[in-house]
Amino acid sequence: MQTGKTNALRMLDAKGIRYEVHHYDNEDGAIHGTAVAEKIGLDPDTVFKTLVAHNGPNLYVFVIPVGGELDLKKAAKAAGEKKIEMLPMKDLLKWTGYIRGGCSPVGMKKLYPTFIEESAELYDTIAVSAGKIGMQMELDPQELAGMTDAVFYDLVK
């Protein structure tokens, strides 16, 4: 298992943000959020997934608990749009630089408007992808918000 630093981790290092890396085995193909939470031994409520949605040319990043489902109406309201839809999986790499299962809110090709589920504020740390499958980074949600210019918002159904 590779343990090198990802762009997301390098960016955190450059800002002096403290984090803990969690590695997990993905050879079984189970990269969905609840499986990842179990593999790294964290409460699923503290492990978050990164989703990307759009309204035409405008992309938005949403960070929600792995067991949650993004409410597109709430997400659109957060983004100031009437309607948004999920970015097709085939476009994820092109727009973010990341693939499904390894999409981090830190280090995307551009800094897109980012929203973090408000429940993250209940925890001292949350885990998100470190930018590649098999690697999660655990950090203070306030530090994550600062790093991504994110706003905390009620986003899940």
Question: What tens digit of pLDDT does each residue of 54-101 get?
Answer: 998 999 999 999 999 999 999 999 999 999 999 999 999 999 999 988
- Report whether pLDDT(52) > 80: yes
| pLDDT score, position 1 | 45
Dist. CA 130–CA 22, nearest whole Å: 9
Question: What tens digit of pLDDT does each residue of 99-131 get?
Answer: 988 999 999 999 999 999 999 999 999 999 999
| pLDDT score, position 33 | 74
Q: Which two tokens stand for residue 128?
A: 């998100």
Decide if 45 contacts 119 (C-beta within 8 A).
yes
Per CATH, the homologous superfamily of domain 7-153 is YbaK/aminoacyl-tRNA synthetase-associated domain (3.90.960.10)
Decide if 156 contacts 146 (C-beta within 8 A).
no
Dist. CA 76–CA 113, nearest whole Å: 12
Q: What is the DSSP string of 49-65?
A: EEEEEEETTEEEEEEEE
Q: Residue 27 — very low, low, confident or very high, per pLDDT cuts 50/70/90?
A: confident
Which whole number is the average pLDDT over 144-151?
97
HSE value, Cβ hemisphere, 13 Å, CA-based, for 13: 8
Residue 21's beta-bridge partner residues? 137
Q: Where are the domains of the chain?
A: 7-153
How much is the pTM? 0.93
